[in-house]
Amino acid sequence: MGLIRTLFEYGNQAYEGLKQPTAAQQTKAGAAMDNLPEPGTVTLSGQQQEQSSRPRVMIKEFQQGVGQDTAFVQQTLRQKLAEYGVASVRGQVRLGRSETGALEISGAIPTEAKQKIEADINRNPDIKQTFVRLSNQKPALDYVQNVMRLQNAYGGDNSLFSSLLSSNPQNNSLQDIVQRFHKMGSAAAEMTANSGSAFSISIS
């Protein structure tokens, strides 16, 4: 009888193990599966929080806008040089602003052609507005790029650079950063590639 009872108990345990799990057991198992990371989303401890809290800056978009404006100014200057027969001038030709704010060119250009080109350029509102925009945006973009290169190379954060950024990505357009950059004053100016010299665009 003892052997028969033992065999019966083993059979009953095996039967219970084959039963469908209860609703409570299924819920508990489902919750455990929900906590597993999805494929391709595994992150190191602390990495996700650090990335989400860091303001985003769309450097490529900034570069594209500044690049288009620079190409427009350079192309206009080349066209004017060709128009007045001095396209083959040797050396660099620079376009900058005088102390009065007027656009002026420098380079090995005959005086008469130089004066005519400057007169045409200063009558063109598109070229003047584009140049003024570049003179504000290009130094700020150079500063941002320099800081980000240093951060990528050596790590760490730059307090001046961090003060340029907003925690809201929508407030980190190039124009927003330019405004904050100029408010920073001399502290940022000392760190830009263009500090100590007037902004200009050159062709050769």
Please state the rounded mean pLDDT for residues 151-177: 67
Q: Return the beta strands (E) in the chain as ranges.
A: 93-97, 103-106, 201-203
Stated as kind and residue range, the H or E segment containing 105 is: strand 103-106
Q: Give residue-wise pLDDT tens across range 3-29.
A: 444 444 545 554 455 455 555 555 544
Q: Which of the pair, 182 or 62, is modelled with greater confidence?
A: 62
Give the integer Cα–Cα distance in Å for 126 and 158: 36
Q: Token match 């376009």: residue?
A: 95
Read off the tokens for 195.
Answer: 């500090």
Query: What DSSP state is assigned to residue 170?
Result: G
Read off the tokens for 167.
Answer: 């925690």
Read off the tokens for 174.
Answer: 């190039």
CA angle 20, 26, 32 (to 5 degrees): 140
Which candidate, 69, 51, 67, 59, places its Cα nearest to that of 173? 59
Q: Give residue-wise pLDDT tens across range 109-127.
A: 999 999 999 999 999 999 9
Which candidate, 79, 167, 92, 160, places its Cα nearest to that of 120? 79
Q: Token match 């665009």: residue?
A: 201
Please state the rounded mean pLDDT for residues 157-169: 66
- Whole-number average pLDDT of the chain: 71
Residues in the chain: 204
Which candidate, 119, 77, 111, places its Cα nearest to that of 95? 77
Q: Is the pLDDT of residue 129 over 80?
A: yes
Alpha carbon of residue 36 to chain centroid: 33
| Collapsed DSSP state (helix, strand, coil) of residue 203 | strand
